[in-house]
Structure 1
Amino acid sequence: MSEESAKNLKALREKIDDIDHKILTLISERANCAQQVAKVKKTFNADAFFYRPEREAQVLRSVMDSNQGPLNDEEMARLFREIMSACLALEQPIKVAYLGPEGTFTQAAALKHFGQSAISIPMSAIDEVFREVEAGAVNYGVVPVENSTEGVINHTLDSFIGSPLQICGEVELRIHHHLLIADTTKKDKISRIYSHAQSFAQCRKWLDSHYPHAERIAVNSNAEAAKRIKSEWHSAAIAGDMAAELYSLEKISEKIEDRPDNSTRFLIIGNQAVPASGDDKTSIVVAMRNQPGALHALLEPFHTHNVDLTRVETRPSTSGTWNYVFFIDFIGHIDNEDVSKVLVEVGRRASELKVLGSYPKGVL
């Protein structure tokens, strides 16, 4: 390296050190402000909500809109996500229940949404996540609701029917599956593969091509699959990055999902209604009377008031044979005038209408 290059490098490093010091000072100032916010909230309301989904969505959108690079918008938002998570933990650490065990994609979704400073608590079933939130043992829950390859998770939809909980947010996670082995596994002797049934379905073509004769054993979660193979020399598991890291497994094949756009949408559930953020979704469940034209009558108000539907799912009703309930997602907040008009008209035509929540559209 020439003397001039060394001099330039030294100057750049000194500039980086100076910038780092400024960043440190500003983050500390932000953390101090967060503590002051907590004190003000407690003064007015001892049961104040410290986490505001609409406020955080607005901040992250502003960061992405203002970003000028060279880091891309999502990377910059992730950095701010973690700063916000750490600052919020100073006010009051958030406890989040998720469909476990540790190392699942649902835990990854929870940490993506709430940041690494959140306290994530694994539950063994979706209805247990709902119960923990309802009981107040945790602040929020995270549950999967639909996969781009395999469709909706019916257990999650059914859990909403009898629950008083609100949807407070959503997060979408790109799902990458890897074939994992332990340090004791003999690669050329793999005759058994463990995974969740959904993951087997999402990797069906790849497995048929590469391991057509291996026994496929479905377990409760990919994390459980990863844990099992630690004691078996002839087995492999399909799981994600978090499980691979948690159980110190080797990836012998990466991204084996059949569709490269494979992703899962997760819902954040809580006890509070969320004010409008400016870019929101609303979810409802509707029971219609069993008569000709019921579906048309249900959907007509959305067309009339130009409200965009994003999802319509049908589930059998528990109230009678051949009756159905519809789960509907659409753009807008219940405080919006057009949405209010739609809900009034749908309510007149339906036998039952329940608003599951209005919440910010997923930012990250």
Structure 2
Amino acid sequence: MSSRIARKPAAADTAAERPSIETLRARMDEINLKILRLVSLRAGLAMEIGRLKHHHGEVYQPVRERAIIEKMIAENQGPLTDEQVKRIYVEMISACRALEHEPRVAFLGPEHTYSHEATRMRFGSSVELMPLESFAAVFQAIENGRADFGVVPVENSTEGSVTLTLDLLIDTALVIIGEILLPIRHSIMSLSGAAGEVRRIVSHQQSLAQCRGYLSAKFPNCETEAVASNALAAKRAAEDSSLAAIASAAAGEAYGLKPIASNVQDVATNTTRFLVMGTRPVERSGSARADKTTLLFAVADRVGTLNQALNLFARNAINISKFESRPLRARPWEYLFFVDVMGHRDDPKLSRALKSLERKALFLKVLGSYPEGRSAAA
């Protein structure tokens, strides 16, 4: 056995073997140029595809875009997180899409609302944003051609459905072409950031409800006031030092507010589901687990008719992920039923179930088949 002992590298030896900052930066500059060339090549291909697609359909292809992002996440080996990879590709796709046509996307304004955040999360930065004053205005903008798409909230995991959106879905000719699941992280903010100076707390009524427990524990003596949007609440707080706003951190930053506390929602997993509205249906993803279909129907007010209608889905092995009733405005104590089922309307099983339901129902409207949403962390 050799008596030689391996010599521990001296500090000078280790330093000599380690590349310098200048060397690393030079390598990074080379990679930056390669990335730019590849992105430019990708953009050229997107433009060529765009010229072909104009003969066949929409510039926005939610099924294709989701498939790209999910593939990149599956291939991600770090050190970037999956969410960071997703954001990079959302922006790259957005920029390439804008070379074909820059979409106009309507949402409930003003800017810095959660609707604005959901719109940016789905469409990226390379779009023409149209903040509007109401959900009805969003639907109207798409219907009259002023907007290509719209983003509206339909459901919150804490407070339930947004009834105004459900009512608009009943009569619209638009279709649902996607959904966005946005984690809602509320902050409470004021001009000074001092909790002791707050006399009134302003926010959208749903946000106040989502923070009810926190407000009761931390601000039991403060009045609350519901306003039209969280961004408006932030604007109000920026004008009055006695007010605090519950809104997103981005809204607070935009209006120069300082944080009192963050993540003040009562439920840590608080999430709002947004619908993407358009004028043309989208294609199948190719897997029943990847698509969702939303429909509404009415049945005769007789014993067993609703149960028989829902059993049509069970017989075709179709999962119902949501079921909700809404009163018929012109006929008291009669209801429409909103249903989310897994699968695309063109899938054989779901197509068969819908044809059977159409024969039994007084009224049936398929609001859209679209890629199932993924949470922001997915």
| 2:112 aligned partner | 103
**Pair 1:88 & 2:97 matched:** yes
> Aligned to 1:166, which of 162, 175, 185?
175
Task: Show structure 2 runs of 5+ residues with no match.
Answer: 1-10
Conserved in 1, the CA contact under 8 Å of 2:238 and 2:256?
Answer: no
Conserved in 2, the CA contact under 8 Å of 1:301 and 1:345?
Answer: yes
| 1:344 aligned partner | 355
Task: Show structure 1 runs of 5+ residues with no match.
Answer: none
Q: Hey, what's the Cα distance between the residues in 2 that align with 1:41 and 1:148?
A: 37
Conserved in 1, the CA contact under 8 Å of 2:204 and 2:226?
Answer: yes
Q: Hey, what's the Cα distance between the residues in 1 that align with 2:257 and 2:16?
A: 46
TM-score (norm 2): 0.91
Conserved in 2, the CA contact under 8 Å of 1:57 and 1:277?
Answer: no
Match of 2:131, as an amino acid?
P
Q: How does 1:23-42 map to 2 (within 5 A)?
A: 23-42=35-54
| 2:30 aligned partner | 18
Larger radius of gyration: 2
Conserved in 1, the CA contact under 8 Å of 2:293 and 2:345?
Answer: yes
| 1:66 aligned partner | 75
Structure 1 residue 192: Cα displacement: 0.7
**Pair 1:359 & 2:370 matched:** yes
| 2:19 aligned partner | 7
Match of 2:129, as an amino acid?
S
Q: What are the Cα deviations for residues 128-148 of structure 1, in whole angstroms up to 9, with x where unaligned?
A: 111101111000000000000
Match of 1:28, as an amino acid?
S
Conserved in 2, the CA contact under 8 Å of 1:195 and 1:217?
Answer: yes
**Pair 1:268 & 2:280 matched:** no
Q: What are the Cα deviations for residues 192-219 of structure 1, in whole angstroms up to 9, with x where unaligned?
A: 1111110111001110011101110110
Aligned-residue RMSD, C-alpha: 1.7
| 1:307 aligned partner | 318
Q: Hey, what's the Cα distance between the residues in 2 that align with 1:341 and 1:7?
A: 65
TM-score (norm 1): 0.95
Match of 1:38, as an amino acid?
G
Conserved in 1, the CA contact under 8 Å of 2:107 and 2:150?
Answer: yes
Instruction: State the secondary structure of the residue aligned to 1:291.
Output: coil
| 2:59 aligned partner | 50
Structure 1 residue 246: Cα displacement: 1.6
Conserved in 2, the CA contact under 8 Å of 1:289 and 1:323?
Answer: no
| 2:196 aligned partner | 188
| 1:138 aligned partner | 147
Conserved in 2, the CA contact under 8 Å of 1:186 and 1:233?
Answer: no
Q: What are the Cα deviations for residues 294-327 of structure 1, in whole angstroms up to 9, with x where unaligned?
A: 3211210111111111111110012422111110
Q: Report the number of matched residues.
A: 360
**Pair 1:249 & 2:257 matched:** yes
Q: Hey, what's the Cα distance between the residues in 1 that align with 2:322 and 2:19?
A: 59
Q: Does 228-237 or 262-271 show the bigger shift? A: 228-237
Q: Does 173-182 or 52-61 show the bigger shift? A: 52-61
Match of 2:132, as an amino acid?
M
Structure 1 residue 188: Cα displacement: 2.1
| 1:76 aligned partner | 85
Q: How does 1:178-327 map to 2 (within 5 A)?
A: 178-183=187-192, 187-278=195-286, 279-327=290-338
Conserved in 1, the CA contact under 8 Å of 2:174 and 2:279?
Answer: yes
Q: Hey, what's the Cα distance between the residues in 2 that align with 1:242 and 1:288?
A: 45
**Pair 1:328 & 2:336 matched:** no
